[in-house]
Amino acid sequence: MTRRELATQYVGSLLGFVWTFIHPLVMITVFWFVFSIGFRSQPLNNVPFVVWLTAGMAPWFMFSDVVLGSAAVIIANSHLVKKTLFQSQILPVIKLLSSFVTHGIFLVVLLVLILFQKMPVSFYYFQFFYYLICMAYLALGLAWAVSALNVFLRDVGQVAGVAIQVGFWATPIFWDINMMPAKVQLLLKLNPMFYVVQGYRETFIYFKPFWEHPLLTLYFWIVSSIVFVGGALIFRKLKPQFADVL
């Protein structure tokens, strides 16, 4: 089903799977041009801005793709959901798995940029698997909740889109959190995606282990577990009514 999900994205497309490479490349190039050339953003701690930016964008765009893509996944597969034996809770999981492909392309681009800028490489790169699990855990909980609620109230998908836009600019992806006052920094760190975005940068750029932030790690897993369990319970509660509504 994941392979079918990927295939249907490019049905009738001349370039097909090549678009998986084009989208992240164009996105990174546009943002790099705007911030580096237009706003003349300087390297942060001697790190080229394009590398710093790409390391932050990679996890966020997978996260947003999973959450927003799951909003209509039950409705789009209503013919399957109506079958008694079909386990509809796997539909957001399929969206999560298909998003790994685009995320992999993002990481390839990031590694190419690191090598092109002649930055050091490290075994710390393998730490990204930990942060990938963190992001998937949080995203899947939200995906279950959004996909189930959107069946009964179609505005939920729109609300999720607005929330993702606000979260995009509230998360330090294009700007350094250290430029904010201490009280504002504390507030921004309450966003669990800050932990993941910062973790990717510490993995690929700064080479810092995740256990250096024990309190932030504990906070992330508590909040993410609440979201994950809450999303699963919401889906389980509403699932028996899907067929009647659809």
Question: What is the per-residue pLDDT across 123-171, written as a single tens digit (0 to 9) for each?
Answer: 999 999 999 999 999 999 999 999 999 999 888 889 999 999 999 888 9
**Cα separation of 112 and 124, whole Å?**
17
Q: How far is CA 93 from CA 70, 129, 213, in A?
A: 9, 18, 29
Cα–Cα distance, 187 to 179 (Å, whole number):
14
**Residue 94, pLDDT above cutoff 80:** yes
Q: What band does 173 get if pLDDT is binned at 50, 70 and 90?
A: confident
Check residue 16 and give its pLDDT.
56
**DSSP secondary structure string for all residues of 142-170:** HHHHHHHHHHH-THHHHHHHHHHHHHHHH
Q: Measuring CA to CA, how many Å separate 105 from each of 24, 59, 140, 159, 199? A: 7, 12, 21, 28, 19
What gap in Å lies between CA 74 and CA 153, rounded to an integer? 12
Cα separation, 142 vs 162, in Å, equals 14
pLDDT of residue 43: 55
pLDDT tens digits, 115-131: 988 888 889 999 999 99
pLDDT tens figures, 203-236: 999 999 999 999 999 999 999 999 999 999 999 9
pLDDT tens digit sequence for 177-212: 888 888 888 888 999 999 999 999 999 999 999 999
Question: How many other CB atoms are there within 10 angstroms of residue 159's CB atom?
Answer: 14
Contact 38, 115 (CB under 8 A): no
pTM of the model: 0.87
Distance CA 235, CA 88 (A): 9
Q: What is the pLDDT of residue 22?
A: 73
Q: List Cβ neighbours of 161 (8 Å cut-off, separation of 6 or more).
A: 68, 71
Separation of alpha carbons 179 and 200, rounded Å: 19
Per-residue pLDDT at 17: 59
> Regarding predicted confidence, which is higher, 77 or 97?
97
Share of the chain above pLDDT 70, in %: 89
- 60 confidence band (pLDDT: 50, 70, 90): very high
Domain boundaries, the chain: 2-245
pLDDT reported for residue 50: 84
Q: What angle do CA 67, 172, 204 make, to 5 degrees?
A: 90
**CA distance between the termini of the chain:** 21
